[in-house]
Amino acid sequence: MGMKGGDLRNKLLDRLLPLLWLGLTDRAIALLCDIDSADIKNRAVIEKLKECLRRNKPYIPCYAIRKELGLRNSSNRGEKANDLIVSERLKHKGMSQSERGSVALASISALKRNNECKRWFEKREVEL
C-alpha cells in the first residue's frame, strides 16, 4: 500500500522477504529507509512497517534456522488458542469488549481450558 504500483511493490518484496526470512530486521529496516521517494505512494505506511519491525525485532526469529532444526514456523497453534479462548465467545455471539475486558476473559478462559483454576485461586500460580 505504500508503493506506487504492484511492480515496485513486488520488486521491494523480492528484496525484503529474504531478509525477514533470515531474521535480519536491521537490514530490512535499512532497505525500507533507502526506498526512492519517487517510488513511495504513502510514506506513512512505510514508516508504520519500519516501526513494526523495530518494535518486534526481539521476537522475529531466523526462520531459515528454525526450518533446518525442524521447528515450527507458523502461529497456527496460537491462532487456534485465541479462537478457542476469546474469539468464539466474542465473534460468534456478536459481542465486543474493551481490550482490558478481552484480556481478562482470555486469562480466565485459559485457566479453565488448562484445568488451572483451582491452583490459581488457591496458590496464585499456574503450571507452565
**pLDDT above 80 (res 127):** no
- Position 101 scores a pLDDT of 75
Instruction: Dump pLDDT digits (tens) for 3-61.
Output: 998 999 999 999 999 999 999 999 999 999 999 999 999 999 999 999 999 999 998 99
Examine the domain organization and report whether 26 and 10 are in the same domain: yes
Examine the domain organization and report whether 80 and 64 are in the same domain: no
Examine the domain organization and report whether 14 and 45 are in the same domain: yes
- Position 122 scores a pLDDT of 86
- Backbone CA torsion sign across 80, 78, 64, 52: positive
**pTM of the predicted model as reported, rounded to 2 decimal places:** 0.61
DSSP assignment of 46-70: HHHHHHHHHHHGGG---HHHHHHTT
Distances from the Cα of 69 to the Cα of 24, 61, 109, angstroms: 18, 13, 33
Examine the domain organization and report whether 42 and 89 are in the same domain: no
Count of all residues that appear for the chain in the document: 128
Examine the domain organization and report whether 84 and 45 are in the same domain: no
57 within a domain of the structure (yes/no)? yes
82 within a domain of the structure (yes/no)? yes
Task: Give me 79's grid cell.
Answer: 491462532
128 within a domain of the structure (yes/no)? no
Examine the domain organization and report whether 99 and 51 are in the same domain: no
- Is residue 15 within 8 Å of residue 31, measured between CB atoms? yes
31 within a domain of the structure (yes/no)? yes
CB atoms within 10 A of CB 29: 19
1 within a domain of the structure (yes/no)? no
Instruction: Dump pLDDT digits (tens) for 114-125.
Output: 888 888 788 887
- Residue 111 is part of which domain span? 76-123
**pLDDT above 90 (res 128):** no
- Position 91 scores a pLDDT of 63
How many domains is the chain built from?
A: 2
Examine the domain organization and report whether 15 and 53 are in the same domain: yes
